[in-house]
Each structure stands twice: as C-alpha cells, then as structure tokens.
Amino acid sequence: MASDMKHSAKLIAKKRLNRKRILIFTALVALAGVVAIITSFAAVITTIQAENINFSRKAIGYDPAKKAIASLYWNASGSTQVTLPTNTTNLTIVAKGTRCNGSPIMTVQIDGEQVASMPVSVNAWRNYSIPLNLQPGTYIVSVSFNNDYVRGGTSPCDRNLFLDTLNFTGNDPTPKVTTPLQGESLTYAPGKASIGTGPTREEKALSMWSNGMAQGQLNLAGSSNRLTAYIRGDQCDGAPFMTLYVDGKQVVAKHVRFNNWGQISAPVAVGSGQHTVAVGFTNDYGRLNSTGSFICDRNLHVDKLVFEGPMPVQPPVQVLPTAPTGLKVLKYENGSVTLQATVDANTATAGVGYTVNGQAGPPVADAVRMGSVVTMTIPNIPPGAAMVMKMAGKNGTGTGPQSAPLNFTAPVAAPNSPPTAFTGSVIGMHGGARDIDYRATRSLKPKLVRVGGLSATMTRSQIQAIASEYAKTSTRIIALVDFNEAAPSEAESRNIGTWATIPGLEAIEFGNEPWLQNESWDYAQYARSYKAAYDAVKAANPSMVLIAQGDSANRGHRPGLRVMQEIKNLGIKPKAIQIHPYGPDYLNRLGDARRDLKDVGWSTGVDIWVTEVGVSTDNGRTVYQGGTPNNYGWNAAMTYAEAGKTIDQVTSDLLAQGVTRIIVYMGTDYRAPGTSNEREYYFGLTKTDGGDKGDLSTVMRRLFNR
C-alpha cells in the first residue's frame, strides 16, 4: 500500500513513509499499549515502543524487521512514563542512525538525570546498552536527538536517528505477600487534604492539597522488605515532594514527577506486628492569574501504601499409611485437569497435593469436607505431563490417613492434518504469527491467511510451527518474506527453499512493496535474490508458488515491469505476481499489471494474485493520513456497513476478472475505536479486543466461506 504522507522539505526526496508493518513474528509475546512486561526465568523485561513516546517532533516510520519505529528527522526530544516492577539493572535501546559529517547523538535521561549520551553510528539495528540501578517504581524516561544535520550539493546526506524499543531488564520476581494500607484510610489535619477518586471511578484516594502529614496503622502478619507507594502528582512549576515514614523513620524522600498513577518503591526492614505509616507533602504551590484563579496547583494523591514480604515457608504434607480417601480424573481439557475427590465421614478435612513431572505444584488445600464428594480443577498442566496426586486429612483423634497415589498422564492431542490445497479461487485474510492473529482467524474462519513479518533467515521449524497453528482451524498460509527496502542476500534467499515442503503452505511471497520506500531501488539485486530463492524452492517442491513483486502502484516509471524484465533476463518465469490495488481504481490497477505482463512477453502462464486490498473504517469517524482525510480515494468516514459493501463489491469484481487469490488486509485493528484518527490503524476486520466490526465482519465470514 503506498503512502502519500511526506516529510518536510529538508528531507531528501526519496524519503517516504510507508504503511505501518506491525506484524513481526512474535508467537510468544503480545504487546499491549505503550509498555509490555515479559517475564522469563532469568529476568523481567519492560518494553517501551518508541513510536508511542511523545516526541516534540517525529514521524512514525515502518521497518519490515522492526514494525513501527520512531523516526527523528529533526532535533527532537520526547518522554514517557514507565513503571518498573522489579529492581532494574539495564536499559537496552534498539536504534540505528544515518551518518552525515558525523553520527547522530542519542541522549537518555531518567527523572531528569542523564544516564547516557552516545553516538549511533551504524545504519542497521543495534542494541545500545546502558547500566542502571533502579528500584521498582514509576519513572519519567526521556530520549533526545539534538545534532541534526543536512548537507546539500553534489553529495547530499542527512543525519537522522531511528528508535525501535527501549527495554528495561530487571531481576526475576519471586512470590510475595502484600499488605496494603489504603490512602483514604489515613488520618490528616482539617483543611490539609480530602478524599478523591483513585485509579478507577470505583476506587478512592487521599488528595493532599496543602503541606502536611497523613498517617495510619496496619498490622503485618510477617516481615516486609519493600514499601511501595501508589501515587500521582499534579505538576505546577515543579513536582510535588513526598516523604514516607515507617514507625517515625524516613524511608522515602522523592519528587513525584508523573501525572498518571504510578509507583515509588523503597527497601525497608520491618518485622511482623503493628506499625505506624505516614506520608508527607512538603512543597505545596499554586500559580494564580490576575483574578485570583488557579492557573495550576501542585498536589499529591495517594491511592495506597503496600508492604511486600517473602512468602512464608509451608510445612511439608505428612505422608500417612492408609487410603480411605479417593481421587478420580474426570477430564483433561484446555490444559486443566478436573478431579473428583471423595472423603469418608471420619475425615474432617482434606487437601490435595500433586507433582507434575516430578515438580511439586501448589496444593489445593482444605478442598474437601468430611463425607463429601467434591469436583476441583488443577490448571496449567501441559499435554504429556506426568502427574502424581494424593489427598491427606485429619480425623477426630488427630492425624488421619492419606490416599493412595493417583498417577495420570495428560493426553497429547493428535497433530492437526494440514488443510488440503485449493482447487478454485479463494478469498483470504492478512495476518501474522501473534495471538491476536490466531484469534481473528478463529472468529472469521478464513481458509487462507497471508502471514506477514517473516524473515528469509527463519528456519523451517519456525515456519512450520506457524503453519501448524493455523492448521488447527484448517487454514492454509501464504508466507510473506517481509522486506520493503533492500532484498535479502542470495544465501539468505536460498534458505527459503527449506520451507517449500511444509504442509499447509500455499505459497511464498518474496517482498512487500519494496520500491515504495525508495524510487531508486535496486531491481537487479531483487531479481538475483528472487532467482536464488526460486531455484531452491523449485528443487525442493516444483509445485510451490514463489510470488514475485509485480505492482507498479500507479508509478509512471512502471516498477512492476522493471522487476519482471530483470527476472526474465535471468532466464526464469514466476508462476504468479502480486498487486495491491487499494482505492476505487482497483480494476485499472489490475489492467496495468496485465499490460506489464504483456509488454515483458508473459501474456500467459503468470497469474496475478491480489495479496492486499482493503479499506480503513472506524465506523463513521474520519481517518487521516498526513493530516488530510484519506482512505485511498474511498470515503474517509466509512461506516462498518459501508466498508462491508465496498469489500463485497471489490472482491466480486476481481473474481469476475479471473483473479484466483485475494487477500483482504487485515485481521485486527491496531487501535481501539475512537482512540486515533490515523488511517493505517483501522484496516482490521475485527476490533482490537477481538469483537466484530458490525456488518464488515459479517460480510467477511460469508466471503471467506463462499
């Protein structure tokens, strides 16, 4: 899909923004909002997507390997709020830069203090690591680029900085016991504070709007090693200053620099028992206008104060000799084991303990009462896991017996049979390898999905895992080798041949609108890489289709024709080329592709596949591109019903013209309804939460199952 949004006049003419590519291969992680938290066995990684940082001046760029990025073509600075759940030891920024009489300088600050200033000298994605020592809590993270430079003349260049993600790495969290003290329960002097709204409308918080102290009492069942304040601050010519005290000892003294709810944590050493906790606000301030009304007012808001401590050590379950109790597995479904437990009348209470592959799981304590039959569920049991389950209890004389062990192995489902190849025309959907893509497929039930975000270097097993996941819904896939600038090397391209015999793989598409990023794109290199992939694919599976780029996209220099000529010069002929005919002139775009095939001498023997077509709709809200209402020539304020009728007509016309493969872009919106007016966010056939987009979703189910 071509983008008509352009940078300012200072940019070299070849720079254009292309459509957002967020379908990077990430079957393990779904990022939500600005910040995502990923837990592994070794670390906790909190990720900020750079395109969501509020920069003073930026462009949203689109990189095939990195999805959406922040493109800083000018001097700019930006900041965002991040909450770190654990002690954080490192910040890694994924960035690249273009040199021009020197490298772009990236400067990073946390809560106003500079932690790094470094050159980004490589025009390829690299990790730039910054050591940190941060307590859990909420921080303001800032990134700036302040040495922009452009050189004109006979050898022009432009110094720019590009950012993908900021990744904070912390220690792996351990289970904790938390004890909260609610802010609204604290006592305060009259005229110093009031009870206001907390993080949600249903919650309350203490609003401190004058210098003073508020305090409360709480009883800890065990020791605590951390105190976390859930707070926010109203900024007014500076941030409110908060102090925290435990039993009269100050443990926190810090500015609250964030307007939204966040956290400030500090280590403490507090034993069990009764404790006095106090919070202070010491720098109240308000700026007034000439009439005496507030222009701004500095305040502190406290939702709760939470003490964290280690989990208490549980005593081992006593193994007893006899077995009056009984356990029975009723079913295994969706990773959960459902048990039936029976206890005789002499056993007062019983709990179920179990192991999974030799590792103890959390007991289902006091689950069964005397003389009863109870059904219970143990979750998170993977297929193939070996379980041993026992039940123990007490009777009126003290200890009671324990059941005989019950052995159970969770069944492994039979592998899905790959869906059979198509014999006629088919309408499919664009998606990826994320949970939301599989969810949209389960909802809409397309028989074919074009999977974006794939790299030529991915292994056969990685692609096969994706095909197997789609096979669960009897869906075949087109594997999109997703590059839209430089083509992969010939060696990388030959690796694609290892994919060619994967069950359920309909075709492989080589590239995605590459010349739309760069009008002086290297067509000959594309052809050489395509031939390397073509030879490897044909050697492995002569019937596999390797789709070549063929869309001239209304460009006067006819890039589709140029790439076909370069491929023909190498002595090969693709089975299919692709076009992306967005907008009302879709039939003219199909005619242009047929003209290009005729002019290169391929009037027969090469199919035209439409691997992207679609409309943007936020149900009547106007969508924009580059500040102008723009839906590729369609109504920029389409309702869901209008969008459904439009796609119905477009696909009907293309099928009537003999097109046998049509992919509608795409499965899911990138933003929730009404949260943006950016056109590229609303091409989805379902909403971000998986819900239908009215008549559009209904029409697509019919088209997918025609």
The pLDDT mean for the chain works out to 82
By C-alpha distance, which of 351, 347, 339, 342 is closest to 315? 351
Q: For residues 521 and 329, which has the higher predicted lDDT (pLDDT)? A: 329
Q: For residues 554 and 13, which has the higher predicted lDDT (pLDDT)? A: 554
Q: Residues 41, 164: one domain?
A: yes
Q: What is the pLDDT of residue 645?
A: 97
Rounded CA-CA distance 55/61 in Å is 14
What is the three-class DSSP state of 282? coil
Q: What is the pLDDT of residue 344?
A: 61
**What residues contact 152, with CB distance under 8 A and at least 6 apart?**
none
Beta strand spans in 73-156 (E): 76-84, 88-98, 105-110, 113-119, 126-134, 137-145, 149-151
Q: Residues 353, 470: one domain?
A: no
Rounded CA-CA distance 236/259 in Å is 11
DSSP state of 642: H
Sign of the C-alpha dihedral computed for residues 425, 429, 432 and 436 taken in this order: negative
Per-residue model confidence as pLDDT tens digits over 154-194: 888 999 999 988 988 887 556 677 788 898 898 888 888 88
Instruction: Kindly report which listed range (114-118, 322-326, 406-410) carries the lowest average pLDDT score.
Output: 322-326
Rounded CA-CA distance 668/77 in Å is 31
Q: Residues 449, 580: one domain?
A: yes
| Local confidence band at 632 (pLDDT 50, 70, 90 cut-offs) | very high
Burial letters 508-544, b for 16+ CB under 10 A, else e: bbbbbbbbbbeeebbbeebbbbbbbbbbbbbeeeeeb
DSSP state of 325: -
Q: Residues 433, 581: one domain?
A: yes
Last residue of a domain, one of 284, 310, 336: 310
Residue 389, domain member (yes or no): yes
Determine the average pLDDT of the residues in 131-154.
Answer: 89
Query: Containing domain of residue 206, as a range?
Result: 176-310
Rounded CA-CA distance 523/520 in Å is 9
Instruction: Kindly report which listed range (256-265, 469-478, 616-625) carries the lowest average pLDDT score.
Output: 256-265
Contact indicator for 211, 283 with CB cutoff of 8 Å: yes
Rounded CA-CA distance 123/56 in Å is 23
Instruction: Kindly report which listed range (197-211, 284-298, 528-542, 647-661) carries the lowest average pLDDT score.
Output: 197-211
Q: Is-cis flag, bond preceding 666, omega within 30? A: yes
**What residues contact 432, with CB distance under 8 A and at least 6 apart?**
23, 24, 25, 451, 452, 453, 667
Q: What is the pLDDT of residue 84?
A: 85
CATH number of the domain where residue 663 is located:
3.20.20.80
Q: What is the largest CA-CA distance in the chain?
A: 98
Q: For residues 545 and 312, which has the higher predicted lDDT (pLDDT)? A: 545
Q: Residues 131, 280: one domain?
A: no
Residue 142, domain member (yes or no): yes
Residue 415, domain member (yes or no): no
Determine the average pLDDT of the residues in 93-97.
Answer: 91
Residue 15, domain member (yes or no): no
Domain count, the chain: 4
Rounded CA-CA distance 242/248 in Å is 15
Contact indicator for 430, 664 with CB cutoff of 8 Å: yes
Q: For residues 253 and 314, which has the higher predicted lDDT (pLDDT)? A: 253
Q: Residues 392, 455: one domain?
A: no
| Local confidence band at 36 (pLDDT 50, 70, 90 cut-offs) | very low
Residue 19, domain member (yes or no): no
Pairing of strands 35-39, 43-49: antiparallel
Residue 576, domain member (yes or no): yes
Residue 414, domain member (yes or no): no
Q: What is the pLDDT of residue 18?
A: 32
Q: Residues 650, 543: one domain?
A: yes
Q: For residues 697 and 345, which has the higher predicted lDDT (pLDDT)? A: 697
pTM of the model: 0.48
| Local confidence band at 195 (pLDDT 50, 70, 90 cut-offs) | confident
Q: Residues 620, 666: one domain?
A: yes
Per-residue model confidence as pLDDT tens digits over 435-449: 899 999 999 999 999
Rounded CA-CA distance 6/10 in Å is 11
Quick one: tokens of 101?
A: 């009489």
Q: Residues 578, 616: one domain?
A: yes
Rounded CA-CA distance 399/358 in Å is 26
Determine the average pLDDT of the residues in 628-653.
Answer: 96
Would you say residue 57 has pLDDT above 70?
yes
Determine the average pLDDT of the residues in 67-89.
Answer: 86
Q: Residues 566, 683: one domain?
A: yes
Residue 253, domain member (yes or no): yes
> Helix crossing, 640-656 with 695-704: angle to 10°?
20
Contact indicator for 26, 65 with CB cutoff of 8 Å: no
Quick one: tokens of 346?
A: 């002499």
Sign of the C-alpha dihedral computed for residues 483, 487, 492 and 496 taken in this order: positive
Would you say residue 477 has pLDDT above 70?
yes
Q: Residues 440, 509: one domain?
A: yes
Q: For residues 703 and 333, which has the higher predicted lDDT (pLDDT)? A: 703
Q: Residues 398, 297: one domain?
A: no
Exposure of 694 in the CB half-sphere (CA atoms within 13 A)? 14
Rounded CA-CA distance 552/561 in Å is 7
Instruction: Kindly report which listed range (5-14, 545-554, 679-688) carries the lowest average pLDDT score.
Output: 5-14
Phi, psi values for residue 650, rounded to 5°: -60, -50
CATH number of the domain where residue 397 is located:
2.60.40
CATH number of the domain where residue 52 is located:
2.60.120.260
